[in-house]
């Protein structure tokens, strides 16, 4: 009987050799990730236009505007920061002043900021310290902050995690707020969830909202259907 073992072995060896050669060609042809472009703000405004290169800003920055997408940006403190691109990873080593974060799928981390507005969709801003007035507009945005002097949440599916908040208003649906304390929270809309450790005043207008206050006395006002409120003690 004629044996095919040798023929099959040779075919397998040839295929393996071809695959290995192709892998080598792909490895050779794949470009290495370029080093970040370093740019000095030189004490003035900077605009990062569309580019494929990651960017590192140095020096004294005043107004920084990021129009590029799909890159990483590292910057020092700045007077203001505007983000309009998409799929950005932005980190600041100092306060960013006034922030306007729009676009989509952008992530920002900074020590602190002045007034903050996060709009667009699927954006995330994280501050280790305090900010001024914070606004979430649009949908599916997330704000994490140690403290904010005032908070406004509008749109849908917004998430806020905070330490200390000033007066807080939620207008929309499916928002989630978790905070250590605030003087007052007003909820207008549906399917929102509020969890605050200490909250003197709570007002809800809408339906299917949930609120939990763990400590202290809380003055509660509720209008609408199917709202669930649990407080430590009513004032």
Judge whether residue 1 has pLDDT over 50: no
pLDDT of residue 94: 98
Residue 158, pLDDT score: 98
User: pTM value?
Assistant: 0.85
Whether residue 116 contacts residue 143, with contact meaning beta carbons closer than 8 Å, is answered with yes
**pLDDT greater than 60 at residue 3:** no
pLDDT of 202 reads 98
Selection from 98, 116, 204 nearest residue 165 by Cα? 116
- Residues 228, 199: contact at Cβ < 8 Å? no
**19-48 burial by CB neighbour count: b if 16+ within 10 A, else e?**
eeeeeeeeeeeeeeeeeeeeeebeeeebeb
In the chain, % of residues over pLDDT 90:
85
Q: What is the pLDDT of residue 34?
A: 73
Per-residue pLDDT of 7-36, as tens digits, reads: 333 444 444 444 444 444 334 443 445 799
Neighbours of 7 (CB within 10 A): 10
**pLDDT tens for each residue of 151-204:** 999 999 999 999 999 999 999 999 999 999 999 999 999 999 999 999 999 999
- pLDDT score of 89 more than 50: yes
């Amino acid at each position: 009987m004629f044996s095919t073992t040798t023929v099959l072995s040779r075919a397998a060896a040839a295929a393996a050799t071809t695959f290995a050669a192709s892998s080598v060609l792909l490895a050779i042809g794949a470009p290495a990730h370029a080093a970040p472009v370093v740019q000095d703000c030189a004490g003035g405004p900077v605009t990062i236009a569309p580019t494929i290169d990651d960017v590192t800003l140095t020096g004294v920055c005043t107004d920084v505007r990021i129009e590029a997408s799909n890159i990483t940006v590292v910057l020092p403190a700045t007077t203001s920061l505007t983000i309009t691109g998409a799929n950005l990873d932005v980190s600041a080593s100092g306060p960013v002043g006034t922030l306007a974060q729009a676009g989509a799928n952008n992530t920002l981390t900074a020590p602190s900021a002045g007034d903050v507005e996060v709009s667009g969709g699927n954006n995330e801003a994280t501050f280790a310290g305090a900010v001024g007035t914070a606004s979430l507009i649009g949908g599916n945005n997330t704000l994490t902050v140690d403290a904010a002097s005032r908070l406004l949440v509008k749109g849908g599916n917004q998430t806020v995690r905070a330490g200390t908040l000033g007066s807080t208003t939620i207008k929309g649906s499916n928002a989630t707020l978790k905070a250590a304390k605030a003087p007052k929270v007003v909820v207008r809309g549906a399917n929102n969830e509020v969890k605050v450790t200490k909250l003197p005043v709570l007002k809800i207008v809408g339906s299917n909202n949930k609120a939990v206050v763990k400590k202290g006395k809380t003055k509660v006002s509720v209008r609408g259907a199917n709202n669930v409120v649990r407080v430590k003690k009513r004032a």
